[in-house]
Structure formats: C-alpha cells, structure tokens
Amino acid sequence: MIINSFVEETENRFLAGTYQKIPVVAARADGTKIWDLSGKEYLDFMSGYGVAILGHSNPVISNAIKKQLDLIGISHGSVYSPARAEFLRNIMRISPKSLNMAYLSNSGAESIEAAIKIAVKTTGRKKIIAMEKAYHGKTLGALSITHSNKYRKAFEGILLPNVQFVKFGDSASLLSLLKSGDVAAVFMEPIQGEGGINFPPYGYMEAVRETTRENGTLLVMDEIQSGLGRTGKMWAHEHWGIVPDIMTVGKGIGGGIPMGVTIGKKEFMESLDVGEQSSTTGGNPLACAAGSALIGELESGMLHRVTTMGRFALKRISEETEGHRLVSQARGMGLMLAIDLRVRFVPVLMELLQMGLITLYSGINTIRMLPPYTVTEEEVNKAAEFIRLALNKQLNK
C-alpha cells in the first residue's frame, strides 16, 4: 500500500522542481472534495487551478470520456473525427457569432502561441502590446507577453523582442502606442487571474475595443481562466458588451483532458497556412468528447448557478472577514474570488490546508479561489468559517 510520504518523496526526487508544491496528496476526488491516501478530506477551492469547473469526477464528463475511449481515443488533426466535428459545433454555439473558426491544441499557453502567430500573419505587423500583471503562460511566446519578472528574468534575451507592456486600465497610454499603426495585437485577460483578480476600470474595455479597431490592431481576449462561465457569463468580456477578434480558451474546456482553443474570425484564422501551426494531439477525440459534455452541462442552467453561488460566496467571505485586522478587501465576480491580506498569504494558506481547505494565491498577500461551479452552500459556509479561523489564528500568533 502506498502512503502520502512515499508519494511526496518520489515526486520531490524525480519530478523537475518547477512547481511550488503544497503538502497535499490528491488521491481521489468527488465534486468539491479531495481525499489523500490517509483519508484526510479537503475542500478544493483550487479545482486543479480552475480546471475541474464542474467538480471532480463529474459523472457526465466521466461517461463521455469512457464512451469515446471505447470508440476511438486518438486521431490526428489530418484525419476527420466525428467527436471533433461535434465539439466544433458546440464551441461555435457558445462563442460570439463573429468568432467562427477555431484552432485546437492542448493547453492555454499553446492557444496563446497560435493567437500570436495569427495576429502577426493577419496584420503583417510584429509589435504586441500586453498588460502589466498579465499572465498568459510560460512557453516562450506566451512568456513574452506575461509580465512577471519572476517568470521572465532567466530568459530575457530569448523572449519576443517587440512586446510592450501598458498598465491594465490605462487607456491613454494604450492609445498613444496604438497610434503608431504598427501594433499587431493587444492581448489581455478581461479579469486578470494570476495577477490577483483585477477588474478593468469603468469604460476601459469599451475604449480598448474602439481604439484597437480604429488602428487596425487585433484584440485578443485571454479567457483561459475567466471564460466558460467562471464569472457567471459564458465569457467574461460579455460583462462589458464587447467582442474581441480572437479569444483563447483553456483550463476546463477539455473537461479535465488537456485542451486549448484559439477561436477567431475566419478571415484572421485563415491567415495561417497548412503546416504553420500544429500539434500531434491537438483536438483529439477524447478531449473533444469531454469538451462537448462540459458545454452541454454549462448550457443546462450552470451559469445562473455560478452567479447566485458567487454572490453567496462573496457575501459569506465578506461577513467572515469584514473588519478583520489582517484583511484589506474581499472581491470577486461569479466564482472568481480573492481576499487581499495585510500580511503574507503563506502562513494563512498553510493553516487553511491544515484545516482542510485548498486555495490558490497571487502575489505575496492575496488568497485566490476558483471553486467548482457545483460547490454547495454548505461547502461555501465551511470554507468561509475556515478562513476566519485561520486568520484569527494568525492574529493570535
């Protein structure tokens, strides 16, 4: 029988140390709950970094995967696939009408890589603008438009040279850069995720849409974290009534099977010629079947649930933390939630793990949460109480 310590020691020994590990062994899961090998139960408000959006071991998704696996699990993009065709019909149905062609890959970063190429080839321009505090992934192209120095510094010199960062929310400096007429694309997350759940200020999204259009620059919305209903709308950019030229989708889109989607206007997507972008397993039938099952569930009243449960979660977290000496703000939209602390998050996060709540974090003092959309009121109540208790424990140290 294997035990938690064996798993931890083995990973620490053989797995490249690129992840900031937390002392949790996820052996099995159901809905919002995860159990380790000793039977310890956790509430999972991390959801595999926002992937398990319909809860772990969701029977609809599991059955779709099993069924597809028995039919055919893999077929290359050069071969036609019924599962892929069905997925494409589904993703088109839930996407803005004008975004009518997709490229399928295996991760968020890959969907960004494709978007960079499409923007450059469509416009014939080489400059890209991205946002301060943006996160788009860690492959070299995606890293080039990711802002954090922590991730970039070892690779400066081999990143894309023509990238400029502007302050998220500052439309004046964006406009002055766009006026040069040589910017291929503006990349942005409608709500910054890794950057700390940052919302755009009033009028900003509309201004970005207008100025990019006026200057022949493509607007690429990275919906990898904020999309697929996370904020209560299918795509977060819908909250501002705008439509991007290209959108990137990842995380939960493959129902837990790795998948990335770059979706855009046909005229832009067609700029890539045969062979200019591909991936052996991109758009594989397994991910497509799981993705179709996921979309079906999202369309069955799930977005409404995210809105109501999100409001409830923010209310409960605010009630438990308001006026607390260690908390400066709780905020969120749908089930994309954050608490800014006046202290470093590490001891609080570790205390929460002890109690049985897994969360995410941002920067040095933000606790971030992306619970599954299937989370219950009871689970939210428990998590909110854990947060208060963990904060109190810190206060008394």
Ligand X SMILES: Cc1ncc(COP(=O)(O)O)c(C=O)c1O
Name which position in 113, 189, 245, 297 contacts ligand X (CB under 6 A): 189
Helices (H), the chain: 4-14, 47-50, 59-71, 82-94, 108-123, 140-144, 149-152, 171-178, 204-214, 266-269, 285-297, 303-321, 346-355, 377-395
Between 96 and 137, CB nearer to ligand X: 137
Contact code string over 194-213 relative to ligand X, x by CB under 6 A? x-------------------
Which has the closest alpha carbon to 115: 261, 275, 234?
A: 261
- For residue 69, give every residue at least 6 positions away whose Cβ sits within 8 Å of its Cβ, in sequence order, or none: 286
Residue nearest to ligand X (CB): 108
**Structure tokens, 49:** 């970094």
20 and 346 Cβ atoms separated by less than 8 Å: no
Reduced to 3 states, what is the DSSP secondary structure of residue 35?
strand
- Which residues between 213 and 272 bind ligand X (CB under 6 A)? 222, 224-225, 250
Nearest Cα residue to 189 out of 2, 336, 72, 46: 336
Q: Which is nearer to ligand X, 222 or 340 (CB)?
A: 222
Nearer to ligand X among residue 182 and residue 238 (C-beta): 238
**Binding to ligand X by residue 190, rule CB under 6 A?**
no
Check residue 193 for interaction with ligand X (CB under 6 A): yes
Task: List b or e across 115-142, with b for residues whose CB sees 16 or more CB atoms inside 10 angstroms.
Answer: bbbbbbbbbebebbbbbebbbbbeeebb
Taking CB under 6 A as the rule, which mask of x and - marks residues 27-66 in contact with ligand X? ----------------------x-----------------
Q: Does 289 bind ligand X (CB under 6 A)?
A: no
Q: Does residue 95 bind ligand X (CB under 6 A)?
A: no
Strand partners, 218: 185
Q: Which stretch binds ligand X (CB under 6 A): 14-22, 77-85, 189-197, 342-350?
A: 189-197
Which residue number, 259 or 313, has a Cβ lying nearer to ligand X?
A: 259
Kindly tell me which of 35 and 204 has the beta carbon lying closer to ligand X. 204
Specify the residue, 252 or 391, whose C-beta has the smaller distance to ligand X: 252
Q: Give the interface segment with ligand X, choosing from 34-42, 96-104, 186-194, 208-216 (CB under 6 A).
A: 186-194
What is the DSSP secondary structure assignment for residue 238, as one 8-state letter? G
Among 96, 137, 252, 334, binds ligand X (CB under 6 A): 137
When asked if residue 168 is in the footprint of ligand X (CB under 6 A), the reply is: no
355 Cβ partners below 8 Å, 6+ apart?
386, 389, 390
Is residue 187 a contact partner of residue 219, using CB atoms and an 8 Å limit?
A: no
When the beta carbons of 228 and 327 are compared against ligand X, the nearer one is: 228
Scan residues 96-135 and list those touching ligand X (CB under 6 A): 107-109, 112, 135
Q: CA-to-CA distance for 296 and 153, rounded, in angstroms?
A: 42
Interface residue list for ligand X (CB under 6 A): 49, 107-109, 112, 135-137, 189, 193-194, 222, 224-225, 250
